[in-house]
Amino acid sequence: MPENLKIAQDAIKKEVEKQDKVGGQLLTKELQFPDSQNYKIFKVYDIPLSLLTFNKYNGRIASDMLTYERALGTEEGVNPNTAEGERIIRNMLLASTDDKISQETLKIKQKEIAIITEDGVIIDGNKRTCLLKENYEKDPSLINTLRTVILPVSNLKPEEIESYETLYQIGGEPKEDYKPINTYLKIRRMYLAKAQNLNTETNAVAAQIFDQQQDVSNTIDTENLDDNAIRYIAKKYGHYKTIKGESGVKKALRVMNVMESYLRAIQCPNTYRLLYDREEQFRGLEDWLRKYKNASSEQCFSEFSDLDYDNLKNLAYDYILAKTTNQDFRNIGGRKKRNHIIGNKKAWDKLVNGWHDIFENESRDLKVDISFQNQKNIVENIIEAEKTFIAKFKSKLDDNITNALEEVKRDQRSAIPRTLVQGSIDNIKALFDNPGALHNPEVQTLVSNLIDVAESIVTLNSLGSLRQVEHTLNKSFKLIGEDIDKMSDIDKEEVQNIVKNIQKVAFKIEKKRFNE
């Protein structure tokens, strides 16, 4: 790496002049420049790897860099123009994502053309440069140059570097996906820079946002977002994966706030590696916290209180930390009231009580020590602390969800007969809208069969049978009251005998049941 960017700029200028002088058929590449509304054709040059400087603000390693620099505790942080600084950045790049860029392919030919500044700062191609250097250090006969376009800019401020990186890596088709947390960090940083007009050299907030020692997690009020900043980001970022348009940008900022709150709650502020592989759950939790605030949603049970809201947030943090499956997590507060735990008070109480019991005599403390001034040790320490928590609590937390979900399923099963019976009643009532249909012999037969089925259901137990008798007697009493004056003496006598027999049966039941 060059000692400083001025030295690199002079050396790169000489390389360009030399390659232009040689002539021949130089490659070209069309790029958006200076913004997405304009295009320019650039020549492609082979620049020695030794003249290039890695971009420590690379969005692909943002979470690891934030964690490391804040643990490092020095004013400067990581300096990419030192051997130690480059080593740290390269280690992060190598561990940042699944290796979609083939190291073996790079031994033969670099397929994708990179983008650098005049002073050698890598805008697009940090991972490729890292792999090329790895190869060359192992075998000096291999490629030791980066095939790249050179933007006519230099001495860029961090926010300007990030703006170009966004334009070329995100604004177009990204060659390798960012970790989701790095996407959220990038959007937050872009928002703060744009909302606070950081395009001036004298603005002190610019240094704060891009100085990794500063905590800017509490600077965004998502209830009063800057519309111009949102539109600006949406144009650059608004079609990338889960970030869809202006609403997607706003959602990302709200989710980032929840992530920060989570890290503070588990006493690991700025430890962004603990957010890996948890994006869907944080997006879901953000929905719940917004939807269930002040019990404003009909999807939670009616007695949902502020205490329940706090319990939802805190127990969700534990389930996220334990890496419960996305499906199990959705069962806590999904979208349909009848299908999730928070829509059922019995199920919710069981979940909360079980959660309290799990941690009643146990410490949640992750014991994450990020004081080591060595990037590898910091990462390993975080991963080990996470594994220890999962091994200790995940199975208990998963069982707790299963037990609470049984209450939901029990209510679902009990609701099936009610739904079917109510449907039958509604259908029968519909017959009275067409009285003529009741005189149809086929309809009369079907109604008679329905009555038989109903009687067989209610007589499955003695209480049901008595309820049916009571219902029939009440209905008969009403009919007899209407027809008694029209009855013959013989019919009246039969009614009297039936009533006496009913009285005898009722007396026997009462004597046997209550006087033994």
Measured CA to CA, the distance from residue 332 to residue 316 in angstroms comes to 9
Residue 244 lies in a domain: no
Residue 480 lies in a domain: yes
What is the DSSP code (8-state) at residue 121? B
Residue 108 lies in a domain: yes
Alpha-carbon 129 to chain mean position: 32
- Last residue of one domain, picked from the residues 152, 176, 200: 176
- Could you tell me which of 200, 163, 174 has the C-alpha nearest to residue 36? 163
Both structure tokens of 56: 């420590």
374 backbone dihedrals φ, ψ, rounded to 5°: -145, 120
Residue 149 lies in a domain: yes
Q: Give the total residue count for the chain.
A: 516
pLDDT of residue 278: 93
pLDDT tens for each residue of the chain, 516 residues long: 677 899 999 999 999 999 998 876 578 888 988 877 789 999 999 999 999 999 998 888 888 888 888 777 766 788 999 998 999 999 888 887 555 555 655 665 677 899 999 999 999 999 899 999 999 999 999 989 999 999 999 999 887 888 888 888 754 444 456 788 988 998 888 888 787 664 433 344 444 444 444 444 455 888 889 999 999 888 877 666 778 889 999 999 999 999 999 999 998 888 888 999 999 999 999 999 998 887 666 777 888 899 999 999 999 999 999 999 999 999 998 766 567 899 899 999 999 999 999 998 888 777 776 665 566 677 788 888 899 999 999 999 999 999 999 998 888 777 656 666 666 666 666 666 666 665 667 766 766 776 666 666 655 666 666 666 666 667 666 666 666 677 777 877 877 888 787 777 777 776 665 554
Could you tell me if 239 and 173 are in contact, meaning their C-beta atoms sit under 8 angstroms apart? no
Could you tell me if 281 and 334 are in contact, meaning their C-beta atoms sit under 8 angstroms apart? no
**DSSP 3-state assignment of 296?**
coil
3-state secondary structure 13-73: HHHHHHHHHHCCCCCEEEEECCCCCCEEEEEEEEEEHHHCECCCCCHHHHHHHHHHHHHHC
pLDDT of residue 199: 42
- Last residue of one domain, picked from the residues 150, 176, 202: 176
Residue 481 lies in a domain: yes
Residue 506 lies in a domain: yes
Measured CA to CA, the distance from residue 360 to residue 354 in angstroms comes to 10
pLDDT of residue 132: 92
- Could you tell me which of 378, 354, 376 has the C-alpha nearest to residue 368? 378
238-252 in b/e burial notation, b at 16+ Cβ within 10 A?
Answer: bebeebeebebbbbb
Residue 63 lies in a domain: yes
Could you tell me if 46 and 153 are in contact, meaning their C-beta atoms sit under 8 angstroms apart? no
The pTM of the full predicted model, rounded to 2 decimals, is: 0.71
Both structure tokens of 93: 């790049």
How many structural domains is the chain composed of?
2
- Last residue of one domain, picked from the residues 153, 176, 199: 176
Measured CA to CA, the distance from residue 124 to residue 366 in angstroms comes to 36
pLDDT of residue 492: 77
Measured CA to CA, the distance from residue 443 to residue 437 in angstroms comes to 7
Structural domain for 63, as ranges: 1-176
Measured CA to CA, the distance from residue 240 to residue 513 in angstroms comes to 73
Residue 146 lies in a domain: yes
**Positive or negative, the Cα torsion across 204, 156, 193, 86?**
negative
Could you tell me if 380 and 369 are in contact, meaning their C-beta atoms sit under 8 angstroms apart? no
Q: How many angstroms separate the Cα of 433 from the Cα of each of 273, 424, 427, 443, 496?
A: 66, 15, 10, 14, 35
